């Protein structure tokens, strides 16, 4: 059965952890879905781990739609959440609505995610009113890279922590059904998780969130430009791919591939 907004809310109520992972294409979305993750986020991290860019700023709506379509096509059970790219929701409520709607209409996403606190509450409210489920995202928000001066842990001072707590409540009140907490102290994430009734999904926010999300290419060992402290690598697909391709090259050069078994 497909994971829904209701089933994720139930998981929080029942104290069951939510596993979320990013994916950007058909084969990996199919694998993540088969492995049983609850939600697949088509993250704007696409820019960095697939497109090879230095940050997430440049990825476009059309590119995100293209990748979300592939992920939706591959996914039977997990909820598909599309990440709204930079400038797809910052300009106006109308633009936010039009762009978020495209993810549902053109790419079969079930929800969208957008970054920011109180300053995007009017977007969250408008999208929710238009029947578009919204995942909010506070703490380290990579689209604010230039204001933040780098990918730094947020909410470390008492004032900053209080502001994040307030933002969490404002976003819940605006209608967000889920809240991503990125790179904040574990104790603050624990307090926010206890204070809101929607599930919190942590990435670099400690063990007490209602769920966790990681970037697929980090989990599988396919991204090596840098590794944040919160990343745990569960596989070495780069190593496996290197070996397979080197073996293939070797056999072609030696003339042992194709053999009889692989010829007509
Ligand atoms: O773009 C992304 O992958 C994300 C997650 C890291 C939360 O926003």
pLDDT > 90? residue 231: yes
Nearest CA to ligand 1 atom 8: 43
Nearest CA to ligand 1 atom 3: 43
The domain at 5-233 falls in which architecture? Alpha-Beta Barrel (3.20)
Model pLDDT, residue 157: 98
Mean residue pLDDT across the chain: 98
Residue with tokens 């073996």: 247
Please report, for the chain, the start and end positions of each structural domain, with discontinuous segments joined by +.
Answer: 5-233, 236-264
Average pLDDT over residues 120-140: 98
State the CB neighbour count (10 A cutoff) for residue 58. 13
Average pLDDT over residues 153-166: 98
Query: Cα dist. 21→77, 146, 220 in Å?
Result: 13, 26, 11
Average pLDDT over residues 120-148: 98
Average pLDDT over residues 201-209: 98
Letter string b/e over residues 82-116, b meaning 16 or more CB atoms within 10 A of that residue's CB: bbbbbebbbeeeeebbebbebbbeebebbbbbbbb
Average pLDDT over residues 150-160: 97
What ligand 1 atom has the least distance to the C-alpha of 43? 1
* Each residue's pLDDT tens digit, 184-196: 999 999 999 999 9
Dump the DSSP string for 161-211.
Answer: HHHHHHHHHHHHHHT-SEEEEES--HHHHHHHHHH-SSPEEEESS-TTSSE
Q: How far is the CA of 74 from the centre of ligand 1 (A)?
A: 20
Q: Which residues contact 210 (CB under 8 A, 6 or more apart)?
A: 11, 12, 17, 18, 193, 199, 200, 201
* Each residue's pLDDT tens digit, 51-88: 999 999 999 999 999 999 999 999 999 999 999 999 99
**Cα Rg of the chain, angstroms:** 20
Average pLDDT over residues 105-121: 98
The set of protein residues with a Cβ atom below 6 angstroms from ligand 1 is 22, 41, 43-45, 83, 180, 182, 203, 213, 215
Average pLDDT over residues 208-221: 98
What ligand 1 atom has the least distance to the C-alpha of 113? 8
Residues belonging to the active site? 182
Strand-pair partners of 18: 211
pLDDT > 90? residue 106: yes
What ligand 1 atom has the least distance to the C-alpha of 180? 7
What ligand 1 atom has the least distance to the C-alpha of 56? 1
Listed as own residue / partner, the contacts of 140-144 with beta carbons closer than 8 Å and 24 or more positions apart are 140/182, 140/183, 140/184, 140/204, 141/115, 141/116, 141/182, 142/44, 142/45, 142/55, 142/56, 142/115, 142/182, 143/44, 143/56, 143/57, 143/86, 143/115, 144/115, 144/116
From the list 152, 145, 150, the residue with the least C-alpha distance to 185 is: 152
From 24, 32, 44, mutation site for ligand 1 pocket: most ligand atoms within 8 A of C-beta:
44
pLDDT band at 152 (very low <50, low <70, confident <90, very high): very high
Percent of the chain predicted with pLDDT > 70: 100
Model pLDDT, residue 226: 85
Quick check: 89 and 124 in contact, CB under 8 A? no
Q: How far is the CA of 221 from the centre of ligand 1 (A)?
A: 17
pLDDT band at 251 (very low <50, low <70, confident <90, very high): very high
Q: How far is the CA of 258 from the centre of ligand 1 (A)?
A: 42
3-state DSSP call for residue 153?
A: coil
Angle between helices 121-129 and 158-174 (to 10 degrees): 20
Q: How far is the CA of 108 from the centre of ligand 1 (A)?
A: 19
Average pLDDT over residues 220-233: 93
């Amino acid at each position: 059965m497909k994971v829904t907004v209701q089933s994720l809310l139930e998981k929080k109520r029942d104290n069951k952890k939510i596993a979320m992972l990013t994916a950007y294409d058909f084969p990996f979305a199919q694998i993540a879905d088969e492995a049983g993750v609850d939600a697949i986020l088509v993250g704007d991290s696409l820019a960095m781990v697939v497109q090879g860019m230095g940050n997430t700023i440049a990825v476009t709506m059309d590119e995100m739609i293209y990748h979300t379509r592939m992920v939706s096509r591959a996914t039977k059970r997990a909820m598909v959440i599309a990440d709204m790219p930079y400038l797809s929701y910052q300009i106006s409520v109308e633009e936010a609505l039009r762009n978020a709607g495209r993810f549902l209409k053109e790419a079969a996403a079930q929800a969208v995610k957008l970054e920011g606190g109180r300053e995007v509450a009017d977007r969250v409210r408008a999208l929710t009113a238009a029947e578009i489920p919204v995942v909010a995202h506070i703490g380290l928000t990579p689209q604010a890279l230039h204001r933040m001066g780098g990918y730094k842990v947020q909410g470390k001072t008492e004032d900053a922590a209080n502001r994040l707590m307030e933002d969490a409540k404002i976003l819940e009140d605006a209608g967000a059904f889920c809240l991503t907490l990125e790179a904040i102290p574990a104790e603050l994430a624990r307090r926010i998780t206890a204070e809101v009734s929607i599930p919190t999904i942590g990435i670099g926010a400690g063990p007490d969130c209602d769920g966790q999300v990681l970037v697929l290419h980090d989990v599988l060992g396919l991204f090596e430009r840098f590794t944040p402290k919160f990343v745990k690598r569960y596989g070495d697909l780069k190593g496996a791919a290197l070996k397979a391709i080197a073996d293939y090259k070797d056999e072609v050069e030696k003339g042992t591939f194709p053999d009889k078994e692989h010829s007509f």
